[in-house]
Amino acid sequence: MKTLRHTSRLYLVLGLLFAAATAPLTSAQAQAQAGSSSDAQTLLQRADEVRNPRQSYRVTSTLIEYRNGKEISRNQLAVFTRYETDTQQFRNLIRFLQPRRDNGKLLLKDGADLWFYDPAGKASIRISAQQRLLGQAANGDVVTTDLIRDYSAVQTGTATLQDAEGQSRDTVQLELSARHPDVTYARMQLWLDPINGQSVKAALYAQSGTLLKTAWFRHYKPALGQLRPSETIIIDGLNPQLVTVIQSQDHQAMDVPAQWLQRQALESFNGR
């Protein structure tokens, strides 16, 4: 008992000494971290604004999936996005256009509300964010979301990177940590061009630290007021032979009524 008490006291003293010695350093690090984090948040917000227009719109997305160099599936979707100015959130309704077997099917994503509607059975089925509908692409890869809502960012360095078009880009590297567990990826690394806010590359990780996907953003083209990526290339982290190419085209500003974005409205949805 005495030995135990003695040992405890020793740990206490060592602990206090360690704390006293490191306190100023920790405080300085925290200040540096806070400054860095604030800059990183600004950069992340800028990157979100470049990827996602701050308005309601419609875009056509084509998902092409490859395995071992061969195309194995191709889906074409009309994505209707409503931007809520007051909450700065995106609400999405996706209509499947191709292949023909899927024509008219709908996917509604409104926050944590995810519904899949099949006109054949007229049934809307709630699905989870992790349920796969589009092959290797997670539902979260297709819909419009802002990273800044779900992740806190820290700048971890700079890097000169070859982008997916063969150009050398001076990038800032951000480390993103999920603010809550309800996100598709627990951790991300994002490389972006600090001059124009263009995302160049992202590495997406599971909670375990396993690399799940690598995403490359390229072919920045004018869309709804500024240059935005028209192509995202997603490479599976576990099997790099699985590649998904997401092409975005025909951005159109349009009013997407809030009334469309609920389960009961899916049956009579007429958007194309």
Partner 1 sequence: MWPLLYLSLLQSDPLPGPDLQAFALADQSAAAAATSADWQLSAEAALTTLGTPGAKQQHWQTRLALDSRYSQTSDDGSLYLRWNSRIDRFGGNSFGDNSADDSDSTTVMSWKELYGGYRWNDSWQTEFGRINQKNGVARGFNPTDFFAGAAVRAQISQQPAVLREQRLGSLMLRQQWLGDAQALTFLFSPKLSTQADDAPLALDWARTNNTDRWQLSAEQQLGSGWTLGLMAYQAQAQARQYGLNVSGALNERWLYHLEAASGSQSRWPTGTDSSNGRLASGFSYSLALPLTLTLEWQYDEAGLNQRDWLELLQQPALWQQYLQQRQGQQPTRQALLFQAQSQQWSAGFDWSALWLHDLQDNSDMLLTELTWIKPEYDMVLQWQWAPGPRRSHYGAVGSQLQLLLRYYF
Could you say whether residue 146 binds partner 1 (CB under 8 A)? no
Could you say whether residue 81 binds partner 1 (CB under 8 A)? no
Cβ atoms within 10 Å of 32's Cβ, excluding its own:
10
Residue number, 46 or 61, with CB nearest to partner 1: 61
Could you say whether residue 254 binds partner 1 (CB under 8 A)? no
Of the candidates 272, 252, 269, 250, the residue with the CA atom closest to the CA atom of residue 108: 269
Cβ atoms within 10 Å of 78's Cβ, excluding its own:
17
Residue number, 46 or 63, with CB nearest to partner 1: 63
Minimum distance, C-beta of residue 153 to partner 1, in the bound complex (Å): 21
Minimum distance, C-beta of residue 73 to partner 1, in the bound complex (Å): 8
C-alpha pair distances (Å), 88 with each of 9, 128, 147: 53, 23, 12
Kindly identify the residues of this chain, within the stretch 41-60, that bind partner 1 according to CB under 8 A: 60
Side-chain-side CA neighbours of 135 within 13 Å: the count stands at 20
Minimum distance, C-beta of residue 245 to partner 1, in the bound complex (Å): 5
Residue number, 85 or 160, with CB nearest to partner 1: 160
3 state SS of 58: strand
Minimum distance, C-beta of residue 14 to partner 1, in the bound complex (Å): 41
Could you say whether residue 216 binds partner 1 (CB under 8 A)? yes
Residue number, 159 or 253, with CB nearest to partner 1: 159
Residue number, 47 or 243, with CB nearest to partner 1: 243
Could you say whether residue 67 binds partner 1 (CB under 8 A)? yes
Of the candidates 262, 261, 256, 259, the residue with the CA atom closest to the CA atom of residue 57: 256
Which of 33, 54, 129, 152 binds partner 1 (CB under 8 A)? It is 129
Which of 33, 55, 104, 194 binds partner 1 (CB under 8 A)? It is 104
Minimum distance, C-beta of residue 110 to partner 1, in the bound complex (Å): 8
d(CA 251, CA 55): 11
- Count residues near partner 1 (CB under 8 A): 79
Helices first, then strands: H and E counts in the chain:
3, 13
Kindly identify the residues of this chain, within the stretch 153-212, that bind partner 1 according to CB under 8 A: 159-162, 164-168, 181-184
CB burial of 202-232 (b: ≥16 within 10 Å; e: otherwise) equals bbbbeeeeeebbbbbbbebeebeeeebbbbb
Side-chain-side CA neighbours of 89 within 13 Å: the count stands at 10
**Nearby residues of 111 by Cβ (< 8 Å), 6 or more positions away:** 89, 91
Kindly identify the residues of this chain, within the stretch 217-246, that bind partner 1 according to CB under 8 A: 218, 231, 233, 235, 240-241, 243, 245
Which of 2, 5, 86, 100 binds partner 1 (CB under 8 A)? It is 100
One-letter amino acid identity for 2?
Answer: K
Which region holds residue 21: left if phi is over 0, alpha if psi is between -120 and 50, else beta?
alpha
Q: Which stretch binds partner 1 (CB under 8 A): 2-10, 12-20, 28-36, 130-138?
A: 130-138
